[in-house]
Amino acid sequence: MNKSKVWFVAGLVFAGTIQFAQASAVSQTKGNFVDKFRQLDEVLPTPNVYRNAAGEPGESYWQQQANYTIKVRLDEQKRRIDAQETIQYHNNSPYTLKYIWIQLDQNIFRNDSIAERTSTFNSKPDTSLGGIDKPAKISLNQLRRQQFMADNELGFSIDKIADSRGRALDFVIVGTNMRVDLPTPLKPNQKTELAIDFGFNIVEEDAVGARSGYEHFPDDAREGGNDIFLMAQWYPRVAAFTDYEAWTNKEFLGRGEFTQEFGDFTVEIDVPADHIVSSTGVLQNPRQVLSNTQRERLEQAEKADKPVFIVTPEEALENEKAGTDKRKVWKFSAENVRDFAWASSRKFIWDAQGYQQGGDVQPLVMAMSFYPKEGGELWEKYSTASVIHTMEVYSRFSFDYPYPTSQSVNGPVGGMEYPMITFNGPRTILQDDGSRTYSLSEKRFLIGVVIHEIGHIYFPMIVNSDERQWTWMDEGLNSFLDGVAGREWDPSIPWGVEPRSIVDYMKSTNQVPIMTQSDSVLNLGPNAYTKPAAALNILREVILGRELFDYAFKEYAQRWAFKRPTPADFFRTMEEASGVDLDWFWRGWFYSTDHVDISLDRVYKLRLDTKDPDIDWERRRQEEADKPTPLFVQRNQAEGRKTWVELNPGVRDFHDDNDRFTVTNKQRNAYQSFLEKLEPWERRVFERAVAEDKNYYVLDFKNLGGLVMPILLQATYSDGTTESLNIPAEIWRRNAQSVSKLIVTDKEVVEFAVDPNWETADVDIENNYYPRRIMPSRIEAFKYNRSTDHISRDLMQDAKTKLKSAESEDNKTEENQEEEQN
């Protein structure tokens, strides 16, 4: 049994090696040399007129454009929308298109979708070690989901597709995609129009688990309760047609998000008259849907220094008690956005504050939040403030926020981003006395999630990376930046993305490279969020430095704003704009599963010989004398045993009086002749080195983790001072396994340390010190601290007991106090 397992593992490794060798166009077929610095030549796509070698949009860069005009009606009772949509499609590509692919993301909820048919069951009968088997488990939520999907007809119903003249067009639905055949092929630089009538039943987010949907509040005063509707992936959207992939055919499986085209939107949203609507874009008809008071408040908010209520908590509470049969149509328009989402409810409190950004792009941005009473004071205090803070920080790293609104909406979705609008989940908790409170953790969660989701308006809503293929391109970059923005909100909150936070994952054997398609990533959090964010953090703080990194990162953001970058464009831009070869960094961090573990195996100390026999030979004599005397000799001496020579002085001769280190003129002459034979420059160098008599150390490093990284070396001198001696990663270029380095110092070194400040995600700290330090394990350290902790606590208790008269009641009060302090 055991043997066969081992064999199986060995087989896997072997197969993996073969596969690797086949995958690479250039391969080492003799010996085992690994070139960790090989340029990414054959890995990155060949530069072309659409994407050039600098990582910029090429001279003939193009992208399609799709403009939408939509009229949508929300049926609150049936929780359904019905809509008429017109898509104006511009073919900016150099190719003629016979058909247009449309994304039908709601179809993921159909029973016959790939996502549904391939979802796996998560519980097995539990064979307990005690011999008592437990049955497999199914959760009430899983059953609720299954029942909801059985009871509701889900997915798009497509009623009609026609061209601009009303002629019906043929279409074929393939899962979440739909091909619409054009009556005549669409040539380059031509445009066409598609009219689609569609509708669908909205999913209950809590039942299904989705990126949009409704949430029901049965306990509201209104009979039958109220709902919040968060609408996204709600209209048939044109699939992306790109220079690197043509039509995006990868079906929506749930995790790999969206690949979108930019366009302009005009959307009329028909909702119950007492609803408040938050949406991508700018409201076009405030006179029809807002009261005078609300419009005045909005104007006040533009120049306010804190959020102003457009709908107060009291008004919202009043509003949610009743209902109405009347309807209102909210008309929004948005320019140059890659998607469009909206939210609607009679529960919404609405606050706004103008963010005076200045500049030419968008001097005024309205930061707004929409939330029910359940969001309460938590939202009132932190939502809109976090929205503004995010724009301030992110714009510094990229470009001015280019849209007129920036919104945070509370609903059933934990955290999700769309252009100008984000959905965020954290709420207050209703206490028994009717008050609403929130914990420190909920506060951190709200600030963190708003920063993250508003940050997504930059990446990927504006820097339009392909989310269906690469989660890390938006999540990794955004997690890196939300760490920066979070620290600038309050550095005492632990925001994560430190190099140390990824070592457990990076040293594990169960992982895939960051460069893995979204739906195939094994562990999305560490793979697509934390690891790339930690990598960028290291790139900024350790490898490039802030000046080079920030310049290159901003260059990337500006080059690709409102365009569609691929991973290669990011890698190339960061390298080209910083002027630093980073292929080894991308190869190690993004294309491999190596980790960082640099070991300082040995240090030799060397001393330069003077060649002068009177000095050198005396040193040798001293070395010999410093060696320990053999026990045999020591004990003979201790016994007072006299040697033959001592007892018989007559036998002494020349050799007894001169040891083997005695210098004669023969050596002195050789020294003189050595000096004379030196060229003048040789002699100068030699004499100076002898005079300076510096300390020479040879350090042997091993790269155990495989990932090549700079060696952040710190020397501690005998006088207690320290010095940083950083060695660039290129030291590993000709041998990625082991290297030796000569370090010359004036002062004597007592300790060398590698990465003493934990900046490189080195997984093993113990081998970073020479001489080795005994590093207590985390548990050893914990026990040590706890024991000292306990001692001090016990002492305090003892002291108190002596001072008090031993009344039990007093003691009790004290205990309670301590409990509260905890």
Partner 1 sequence: MRTFWLAFMVLIGVSAASAHQLRTASTTVLFNERTGNIEVLHRFFLHDAEHAVKQLFDKKADIHQLERTREQFSDYVQQRFGLATLDDQKLPLSHVGYEIDGNNFWVYQEAPIVPNLKGLKIRHKALQDVWQSQQNLVNVEGNGPLQSVTFNSADNWLEVYF
Contacts (CB under 8 A) with partner 1, residues 376-435: 413-417, 425, 429
Task: Check binding of 706 to partner 1 (CB under 8 A).
Answer: no
Q: How far is the CB of 660 from partner 1 (least distance, A)?
A: 45
Q: How far is the CB of 137 from partner 1 (least distance, A)?
A: 4
Q: How far is the CB of 415 from partner 1 (least distance, A)?
A: 4
Strand-pairing partners, residue 717, are 749
In angstroms, the CA 195 to CA 163 distance is 6
Residues from 779 through 798 that contact partner 1 (CB under 8 A): 779-780, 782-783, 786
Residues from 518 through 577 that contact partner 1 (CB under 8 A): 522-523, 525-526, 529-530
Residues from 462 through 491 that contact partner 1 (CB under 8 A): 475
Task: Check binding of 16 to partner 1 (CB under 8 A).
Answer: no
Residues from 190 through 219 that contact partner 1 (CB under 8 A): 205-211
Q: How far is the CB of 458 from partner 1 (least distance, A)?
A: 14
In angstroms, the CA 722 to CA 551 distance is 31
Task: Check binding of 650 to partner 1 (CB under 8 A).
Answer: no
Nearest residue (CB) to partner 1, 792 versus 822: 822
In angstroms, the CA 18 to CA 37 distance is 21
Nearest residue (CB) to partner 1, 413 versus 736: 413
Q: How far is the CB of 547 from partner 1 (least distance, A)?
A: 28
Q: How far is the CB of 290 from partner 1 (least distance, A)?
A: 31
Task: Check binding of 702 to partner 1 (CB under 8 A).
Answer: no
Reported as type and span, the H/E element at residue 816 is helix 808-821
Out of 57, 175, 236, 254, point to the residue binding partner 1 (CB under 8 A): 254
The size of the interface with partner 1 (CB under 8 A), counted in residues, is 77
Q: State the binding string over 213-252 for partner 1 (x if CB under 8 A, else -).
A: ----------------------------------------
Residues from 572 through 631 that contact partner 1 (CB under 8 A): none
In angstroms, the CA 339 to CA 43 distance is 32
Residues from 18 through 57 that contact partner 1 (CB under 8 A): none
Out of 85, 374, 453, 759, point to the residue binding partner 1 (CB under 8 A): 453
Question: Side chain identity at 1, as an amino acid letter?
Answer: M
* Of the candidates 166, 170, 162, 229, the residue with the CA atom closest to the CA atom of residue 200: 229
Task: Check binding of 504 to partner 1 (CB under 8 A).
Answer: yes
Edge-to-edge strand list for the sheet holding 711-717? 722-727, 711-717, 749-754, 769-770
Reported as type and span, the H/E element at residue 808 is helix 808-821
Nearest residue (CB) to partner 1, 123 versus 147: 123
Task: Check binding of 510 to partner 1 (CB under 8 A).
Answer: yes
The CA dihedral of 394, 398, 400, 401, to the nearest 10 degrees, is -50
Residues from 280 through 339 that contact partner 1 (CB under 8 A): none
Q: How far is the CB of 802 from partner 1 (least distance, A)?
A: 26
Identify the DSSP state of 108.
G
Task: Check binding of 513 to partner 1 (CB under 8 A).
Answer: no
Nearest residue (CB) to partner 1, 24 versus 439: 439
The position carrying tokens 């009291």 is: 314
In angstroms, the CA 584 to CA 571 distance is 11
Question: Side chain identity at 630, as an amino acid letter?
Answer: P
Nearest residue (CB) to partner 1, 502 versus 712: 502
Burial 500-523 (b: 16+ CB within 10 A, else e): ebbbebbbeeebeebbbebbebee
> 547 Cβ partners below 8 Å, 6+ apart?
none
- Stretch of residues binding partner 1 (CB under 8 A), selected from 43-51, 504-512, 615-623, 654-662: 504-512
Q: How far is the CB of 442 from partner 1 (least distance, A)?
A: 8
Task: Check binding of 138 to partner 1 (CB under 8 A).
Answer: yes
Question: Side chain identity at 332, as an amino acid letter?
Answer: F
The position carrying tokens 């309760």 is: 225
In angstroms, the CA 800 to CA 803 distance is 5
Q: How far is the CB of 232 from partner 1 (least distance, A)?
A: 11
Question: Side chain identity at 259, as an amino acid letter?
Answer: T
Q: How far is the CB of 218 from partner 1 (least distance, A)?
A: 17
In angstroms, the CA 636 to CA 449 distance is 80
Strand-pairing partners, residue 195, are 86, 162
- Stretch of residues binding partner 1 (CB under 8 A), selected from 79-87, 142-150, 269-277, 674-682: 142-150
Task: Check binding of 449 to partner 1 (CB under 8 A).
Answer: yes
φ, ψ for residue 370 (rounded to 5)?
Answer: -130, 125
Out of 123, 288, 558, 672, point to the residue binding partner 1 (CB under 8 A): 123
Contact yes or no for 40/570 (Cβ under 8 A) = no
Question: Side chain identity at 156, as an amino acid letter?
Answer: F
Out of 121, 644, 654, 681, point to the residue binding partner 1 (CB under 8 A): 121
Nearest residue (CB) to partner 1, 447 versus 699: 447
Nearest residue (CB) to partner 1, 145 versus 250: 145
* Of the candidates 448, 449, 464, 455, the residue with the CA atom closest to the CA atom of residue 396: 455
Task: Check binding of 13 to partner 1 (CB under 8 A).
Answer: no
Both structure tokens of 59: 């001279």
- Stretch of residues binding partner 1 (CB under 8 A), selected from 365-373, 500-508, 604-612, 632-640: 500-508
Nearest residue (CB) to partner 1, 301 versus 447: 447
Could you tell me where the DSSP H helices lie in 490-612? 503-507, 524, 531-538, 546-560, 567-578, 583-589
φ, ψ for residue 812 (rounded to 5)?
Answer: -60, -45
Nearest residue (CB) to partner 1, 27 versus 510: 510
